[in-house]
Every structure is written in structure tokens, then in C-alpha cells.
């Protein structure tokens, strides 16, 4: 055979192999598709995803309305992907692929060294922050008699920056916290949490898979900040390990389930002071701030109080008339365990869920000390705190005005009695508005 003949033969063979290859690819992938299709048909639907911490969609019912506006089809798409067989494993595979491609960021979470994951710290919402500063100061103005302390905790990306993926960009949150401290009233004592954590080494200060600080990190901060809170002789604590398989919010957010954490709790060594906890919203009473049943759920950080509540009451047997109000986000949940022996009452309010007037809380519980404990990420974008403090400040001002009106009436009455000439007392309706001060403070505590 001559050259061109050989060439033609080779090309024909190539074409044949190519066709064979194409048919094999078709058959192999078709087999995978059929296999997964059948598996999807036969496996039962799941109600809840532990790893995603949400309920999974059920098969939508066929209704005329749903077909007409397209919601049936959207719901079916969601249902099919929610219930897809081996869903969690497939998602894990996606992240294996990501790390092969050296992709170190996913959904606002950096995948760092030593299996640490980091929430990307937020740049402050200047408008919201300005208002928060203003309202904190205004509230302090009408309650200067109360000892007020402010603690803002930086995000793990600030303290553990050596574990961030190389070159990852992080906003200077330490500076943001410093600037915030400068702007609030000098009468409020501020705790430099950032420096305390920076000096506390690196290990076990924050969770690897969750955006909270660990109990140990909170403890180190407590030890150094006790003086600011007026705690002169902190007691010793015993540490207990309550879980070794915590996979928290960051691994859920990123979808990357590398790494897991241990959860520890601290209990005061001396049992001189005992306490009980009340959750007014659910009318629950507990003998401990810890809820061990939460350790069986995915979000093990909720072993502290079971999560966030609008209002939590802790009454102790300490007879020192120190009644503390903590205004907070979820970071405080693992800090309260250290405060128990030193106060007669600890009242905890989360402004994101508490809709009644904080001023009522102050008077109902005879509060004389206030602690603000927030993570920087929450505080710098939050609007609920300012709203809550604003309503409380207004209520307090009205109270003060009302009192001075009552005093004025009393004074005029005395003058009228002692004087002789009848003086006109002008009657105005409602200096004191007890039925709707702040909207709906009376009655329903939620």
C-alpha cells in the first residue's frame, strides 16, 4: 500500500475508534444516569438535613394554581435536588474539587490552615454604626448611675490571621473596634478584648468550624477583664469536655466539612452560690444554664441556654444586691458561665428578639450594672440595639418629665395650701403615659 493509502487506512481506523469511544462514553454515562435515577426512585425522602441545618423539601402536590404560576415546577426542582440520593457526599465532592483547584474561599468563608475556617469580617455599616454609637451614648446619659461596661470581641480572622490562607484580604477590624471605643462615652468602661486574645496564644481560642469563641477563649478574656467588671477575687473553675464532634456554622455556611471541634464548659469550683434560670417567653425554669440535650443536635454551641432568647433571668443566692443586665449577641452565651458567682441577678436581653421596652427591664429587676457584650461582626451591622436603646431612652425621659410634672403639682399644691390665694392648676391630659409608653411595654413579655 502506498503512502496515501496508508494514510486513508489510518484515518478510517481513527474514525472508527472515535465512534467506538463516543458510543462507550454514551453508554457509561447513561448507565450512571440510570443508576442514580433508580436510586432516587427507591430511596426514601428525608425530612431534615443535619449538615445544612434546615428541613428538606417534600414532593410538591399537583394543584392547578401551582401549575399555572410555575411554583409547582420550582418546588419540584427544589424537591428533587434536596432529596437527591447521596446529596451530602456529592457536596463534599464539590469541595474536594475546590481544594484541588486551590480555591480557598466559599460563600464568605475562608478555608485556612490547620483546618480553621474563617468568616470574612464585615466592613462596618457606617450609617447603622453611627446610630448605634449615638443611642448607646444617649442611653448612658439617662442612666449614668449604672456601672456600664462594653466588650466587643474581634472575629477569629483578626486574632488567628496566621492561619488564614496566604494573602487572604481581611479588613482591619482591630482598628474598627478601637475607633468604636473612642466614640462611646468615656463613662463607659471599655475592655480591650483584642489585646487580651492576641496575648493568649493561638490554640483553642476560637472554634475551627464555628464563628464563636471557645469557652477557653472566653475564659482568658474573663480572667483579664474581671477587674473592669468589678470582680476583685474571681473563683476557680472546673473545666468539662462535653463534645468532641462539633461541626458548627462555618462548615455549614461553606459546605466544607473538614475539621471538627470540641466543646468545653466551665463550672465554678465552689458551690457557695447556686442559681436557677427562667425563660419568660416559654415559661421554662431550669437549674442550670447548660442544656445537655442540645449536645445531641448539630449546633452544639446551643448547649449554652439552648441558643438565643429575647430575655433570660438568672437568680442566684448571692446576697450582694448586684443586679447585672447583659445586652448581647450569641457571643455572651458562653461568657455568662463565668459570671454566676458574683451577682444576685443576671438578666440577659437580646435586642434582636426582645420587642418590649428595655427600660421596664431596668426597673422590674432593679438593675444597677450593665454589660454590653457583642462580636464585632454583629455589632457593626446591627440596627436592633439602637432601636431598643432608643425606645428605652425615650421611655426614661418621659418618666423623668412625668415625675417633674408630678413634683410641680405637689409643689403648687403646697403653695396653695400655705399661700392663701387659690392658684389655678392647669389640667393636662396624661403627662405620664402608662398604657402605651414605648408602644407595648406593659403586659406581654415575649
Partner 1 sequence: MAFNSLVFIFIFLPIVLLIYRFIPQIAKNIFLIIASLLFYAWGSPEALLLILLSVGFNFFAATGIGQHVRRHGQRSAKIHLAVAVIFNVGLLAVYKYTVLGMPIGISFYTFSVMSCLFDVYYGKTGPDMNFMDFILYVMFFPKIISGPIVQWADFKEQVRDHAMSREGLYEGFNLFMIGFFKKVLLADKLGETFSSVFALPDQTVGMAWIGVIGYGLQLYMDFSGYSDMAIGLAKMFGFDFKKNFDYPYTSKNISEFWRRWHISLGAWFRDYVYIPLGGSRVSRPKHIRNLMAVWVLTGIWHGSTLNFLIWGLYHGALVMLDKFVIGSGFSRMPDRLQKFLTNVAVFIGWVFFFTTGIGNAFRYIGRLFGIGAAGFWSSATTFCLTENLILFVVTILCCGPWLFNTYEKLVFANGRKRPAYYISIVLYAVLFVFGIANILGSTWSSFMYAAF
Partner 2 sequence: MAKIKHSRKSTPGSFSINYADIIKWIFAVVIIAMIAGKFFNNRQSKADFDDVKKAVEKTVKDDKTMLDADKNMIKRLYGLNPADYEGVMLKYPSTNMNVDEVFVVKLKNLSQQEATVDAINKRLDTQKKNFDGYGTNQYSILEKSQIDVRGNYIMFVVAEKPDPIVKVFEESLK
Residue 378 engages partner 1 in binding (rule: CB under 8 A): yes
Cell digits of residue 339 = 459570671
393 touches 185 (CB < 8 A): no
Of the residues 169, 233, 241, 287, which one makes contact with partner 1 according to CB under 8 A: 169
Of the residues 50, 130, 203, 440, which one makes contact with partner 2 according to CB under 8 A: 440
Q: Using DSSP bridges, classify how beta strands 117-119 and 109-111 pair: parallel, antiparallel or unpaired.
A: antiparallel
Give the integer Cα–Cα distance in Å for 75 and 59. 8
Residue 94 engages partner 1 in binding (rule: CB under 8 A): yes
Of residues 295 through 354, those in contact with partner 1 by CB under 8 A are: 299, 301-302, 307-308, 329-330, 352-353
Binding-site partner at residue 393 among partner 2, partner 1, none, CB < 5 to 8 Å by type:
none
Binding-site partner at residue 438 among partner 1, partner 2, none, CB < 5 to 8 Å by type:
partner 2
Binding-site partner at residue 142 among partner 1, partner 2, none, CB < 5 to 8 Å by type:
none
Binding-site partner at residue 226 among partner 1, partner 2, none, CB < 5 to 8 Å by type:
none
Residue 25 engages partner 1 in binding (rule: CB under 8 A): yes
Residue 70 engages partner 1 in binding (rule: CB under 8 A): yes
Binding-site partner at residue 64 among partner 1, partner 2, none, CB < 5 to 8 Å by type:
none
DSSP annotation of 114: G
Residue 60 in 3-state DSSP?
Answer: coil
Give the integer Cα–Cα distance in Å for 139 and 90. 51
Residue 246 engages partner 1 in binding (rule: CB under 8 A): no
Q: How far is the CB of 160 from partner 1 (least distance, A)?
A: 17
Task: Please identify, among the stretches 81-89, 214-222, 311-319, 394-402, the one whose residues bind partner 1 according to the rule CB under 8 A.
Answer: 81-89
The closest alpha carbon to 40, from 72, 76, 94, 92, belongs to: 76
Give the integer Cα–Cα distance in Å for 192 and 153. 9
Residue 293 engages partner 2 in binding (rule: CB under 8 A): no
Q: Using DSSP bridges, classify how beta strands 189-191 and 147-153 pair: parallel, antiparallel or unpaired.
A: parallel
Cell digits of residue 63 = 394543584
DSSP annotation of 285: E
Of the residues 290, 338, 355, 372, which one makes contact with partner 2 according to CB under 8 A: 355
Give the integer Cα–Cα distance in Å for 333 and 304. 6
Residue 383 engages partner 2 in binding (rule: CB under 8 A): yes
Residue 26 engages partner 1 in binding (rule: CB under 8 A): yes
Give the integer Cα–Cα distance in Å for 280 and 412. 43
Of residues 402 through 421, those in contact with partner 1 by CB under 8 A are: none
Residue 273 in 3-state DSSP?
Answer: coil
| Site residues (vs partner 2, CB under 8 A) | 355-356, 383, 387, 391, 436, 438-440, 446
Amino acid at each position: 500500500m502506498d503512502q496515501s493509502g496508508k494514510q486513508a487506512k489510518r484515518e478510517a481506523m481513527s474514525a472508527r475508534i472515535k465512534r467506538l469511544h463516543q458510543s462507550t462514553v454514551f453508554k457509561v454515562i447513561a448507565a450512571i444516569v440510570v443508576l442514580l435515577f433508580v436510586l432516587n426512585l427507591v430511596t426514601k425522602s428525608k425530612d431534615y438535613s443535619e449538615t445544612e441545618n434546615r428541613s428538606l423539601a417534600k414532593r410538591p402536590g399537583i394543584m392547578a394554581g401551582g401549575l399555572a404560576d410555575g411554583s409547582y415546577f420550582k418546588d419540584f426542582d427544589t424537591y428533587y435536588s434536596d432529596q437527591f440520593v447521596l446529596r451530602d457526599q456529592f457536596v463534599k465532592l464539590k469541595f474536594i474539587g475546590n481544594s484541588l483547584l486551590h480555591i480557598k474561599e466559599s460563600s464568605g468563608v475562608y478555608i485556612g490552615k490547620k483546618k480553621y475556617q474563617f468568616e470574612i469580617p464585615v466592613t462596618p455599616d457606617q450609617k447603622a454604626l453611627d446610630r448605634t454609637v449615638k443611642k448607646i451614648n444617649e442611653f448612658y446619659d439617662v442612666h449614668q448611675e449604672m456601672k456600664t461596661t462594653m466588650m466587643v470581641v474581634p472575629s477569629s480572622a483578626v486574632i488567628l490571621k496566621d492561619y488564614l490562607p496566604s494573602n487572604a484580604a481581611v479588613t482591619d477590624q482591630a482598628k474598627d473596634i478601637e475607633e468604636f471605643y473612642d466614640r462611646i462615652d468615656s463613662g463607659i468602661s471599655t475592655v480591650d478584648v483584642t489585646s487580651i486574645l492576641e496575648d493568649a496564644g493561638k490554640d483553642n481560642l476560637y472554634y475551627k468550624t464555628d464563628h464563636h469563641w471557645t469557652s477557653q477563649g472566653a475564659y482568658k478574656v474573663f480572667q483579664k477583664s474581671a477587674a473592669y467588671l468589678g470582680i476583685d477575687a474571681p473563683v476557680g473553675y472546673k473545666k468539662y469536655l462535653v463534645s468532641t464532634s462539633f461541626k458548627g456554622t462555618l462548615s455549614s455556611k461553606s459546605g466544607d466539612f473538614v475539621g471538627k471541634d470540641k466543646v468545653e464548659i466551665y463550672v465554678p469550683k465552689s458551690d457557695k452560690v447556686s442559681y436557677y434560670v427562667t425563660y419568660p417567653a416559654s415559661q421554662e425554669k431550669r437549674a442550670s444554664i447548660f442544656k445537655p440535650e442540645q449536645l445531641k443536635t448539630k449546633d452544639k454551641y446551643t448547649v449554652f441556654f439552648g441558643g438565643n432568647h429575647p430575655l433570660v433571668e438568672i437568680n442566684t443566692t448571692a446576697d450582694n444586691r448586684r443586679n447585672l443586665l447583659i445586652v448581647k449577641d450569641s457571643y455572651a452565651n458562653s461568657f455568662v458561665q463565668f459570671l454566676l458567682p458574683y451577682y444576685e441577678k443576671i438578666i440577659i436581653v437580646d435586642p434582636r428578639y426582645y420587642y418590649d421596652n428595655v427600660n421596664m427591664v431596668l426597673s422590674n429587676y432593679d438593675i444597677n450594672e450593665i454589660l454590653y457584650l457583642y462580636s464585632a461582626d454583629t455589632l457593626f451591622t446591627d440596627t436592633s440595639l439602637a432601636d431598643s436603646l432608643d425606645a428605652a431612652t425615650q421611655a426614661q425621659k418621659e418618666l423623668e418629665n412625668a415625675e417633674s410634672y408630678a413634683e410641680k403639682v405637689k409643689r403648687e399644691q403646697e403653695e396653695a395650701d400655705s399661700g392663701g390665694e387659690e392658684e389655678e392648676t392647669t389640667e393636662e391630659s396624661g403627662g405620664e403615659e402608662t398604657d402605651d409608653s414605648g408602644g407595648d411595654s406593659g403586659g406581654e413579655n415575649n
